[in-house]
């Protein structure tokens, strides 16, 4: 009987150990973050170990193509907010992080990843501050998808949606994972625009060839074409550039789509 009791005890210990390891690593915060209307600071509320550098790469969802846009501090958008939680909890976000519905994050269709925005519920005046780390919501009437905790901060969980004002506060450094203090945001770049990058899509000895290419690809995906008249050691060349990229990263992401074989990035002086 003593040996049997020992075996039973060991089995119970193994079962208890397996059960404890299977529990989620996420825990509900002891208290929700609060952001008054006259915000002076933002707490360090995001702690990600699997952060990846986000891009401005265009993408397509259900036949609709989206082009991440460049905005600047102070830009304001109006529309409806929704929220997402349990069904996506623990899954990957669009920029490679792991979604935690208790973090102060949100999804937006076109804002640059790591944009910090203030979201105000127009129904009650309550505000919350979130960092963009995902894409969505892909519903025409909605402009932002809040994490569960962010939605609770502005009392919209029960209703599911709410009319909101979204204000751009700043752009988070890719090397940091928390929402910085307001004074630190003021010291960061006020927009995401880096002028002068283009994609060379052709080079011709004859002007007629350059003109034909320029006309054919002008307004491709919203980008413009220009012809550069350049004198080289090999003679006069007419180069066709695709312009309108708002950052080097955007140009690199567009080049990676492979629409123009042999193309390369150039910078206009």
73 and 176 assigned to the same domain: yes
Q: Per the structure block, which two tokens stand in for 69?
A: 């846009």
In total, how many domains does the chain have?
2
Domain boundary among 156, 186, 216: 186
pLDDT given at position 269 = 57
139 and 222 assigned to the same domain: no
The rounded percent of the chain whose pLDDT value lies above 70 is 68
Q: Span 215-241, mean pLDDT?
A: 90
Is 32 within a domain?
A: no
pLDDT given at position 110 = 86
Pairwise CA distance, residues 240 & 245, whole Å: 15
pTM for this entry:
0.55
Give the CATH number, domain containing residue 247: 3.30.70.1070
The pLDDT mean for the chain works out to 75
Domain boundary among 162, 186, 210: 186
258 and 143 assigned to the same domain: no
Is 5 within a domain?
A: no
Is 15 within a domain?
A: no
Query: For 139, which DSSP code?
Result: S
Yes or no: say if 109 and 136 are a contact pair by the CB < 8 Å rule.
yes
Range of the domain at 256: 197-267
Query: For 46, which DSSP code?
Result: -
The rounded percent of the chain whose pLDDT value lies above 90 is 36
Q: How confident is the model at residue 71 (pLDDT cuts 50, 70, 90)?
A: confident
Give tens-digit pLDDT for 83-114.
998 889 888 888 788 898 999 999 999 888 88
Give tens-digit pLDDT for 6-43.
544 544 444 443 333 222 223 333 333 333 333 333 33
Domain boundary among 186, 206, 221: 186
211 and 248 assigned to the same domain: yes
Closest CA to 80 of 166, 12, 205, 14: 166
Is 20 within a domain?
A: no
Q: Per the structure block, which two tokens stand in for 85?
A: 């939680």
102 and 163 assigned to the same domain: yes
Is 39 within a domain?
A: no
Q: How many C-beta neighbours within 10 Å does residue 126 have?
A: 18
The count of C-alpha atoms lying within 13 angstroms of the C-alpha of 235, restricted to the half-sphere facing its C-beta, is: 5
Is 65 within a domain?
A: yes
pLDDT given at position 96 = 81
Is 42 within a domain?
A: no
Q: Span 234-248, mean pLDDT?
A: 85
Counting other chains too, the contacts that 243-247 makes at CB distance below 8 Å and 24 or more residues apart are: 243/198, 243/268, 245/197, 245/198, 245/199, 246/56, 246/69, 246/70, 246/192, 246/193, 246/194, 247/56, 247/70, 247/192, 247/193, 247/194, 247/197
Residue 267 reports pLDDT greater than 70: yes
């Amino acid at each position: 009987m003593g040996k049997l009791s020992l075996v039973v005890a060991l089995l119970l210990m193994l079962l208890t150990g397996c059960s404890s390891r299977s529990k989620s690593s996420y825990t509900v915060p002891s208290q929700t973050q609060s952001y008054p209307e006259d915000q002076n600071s933002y707490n360090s509320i995001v702690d990600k170990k699997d952060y990846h550098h986000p891009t401005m790469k265009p993408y397509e969802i259900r036949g609709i193509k989206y082009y991440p846009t460049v905005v600047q501090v102070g830009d304001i958008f109006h529309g409806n907010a929704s929220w997402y939680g349990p069904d996506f909890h623990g899954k990957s976000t669009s920029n490679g992080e792991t979604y935690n519905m208790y973090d102060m994050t949100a999804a937006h269709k076109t804002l640059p990843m790591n944009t910090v925005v203030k979201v105000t519920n127009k129904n009650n005046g309550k505000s919350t501050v979130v960092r963009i780390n995902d894409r969505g919501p892909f519903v025409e009437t909605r402009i932002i998808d809040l994490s569960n905790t962010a939605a609770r901060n502005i009392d919209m969980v029960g209703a599911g949606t709410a009319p909101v004002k979204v204000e751009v506060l700043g752009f988070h450094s890719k090397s940091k994972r928390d929402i910085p203090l307001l004074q630190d945001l003021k010291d960061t770049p006020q927009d995401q625009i880096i002028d002068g990058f283009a994609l060379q899509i052709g080079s011709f000895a004859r002007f007629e060839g350059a003109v034909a290419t320029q006309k054919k690809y002008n307004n491709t995906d919203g980008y413009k074409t220009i012809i550069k008249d350049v004198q080289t050691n090999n003679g006069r060349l007419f180069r066709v550039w695709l312009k309108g990229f708002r950052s080097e990263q955007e140009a690199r992401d567009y080049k990676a789509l492979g629409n123009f074989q042999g193309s390369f990035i150039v910078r206009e002086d």
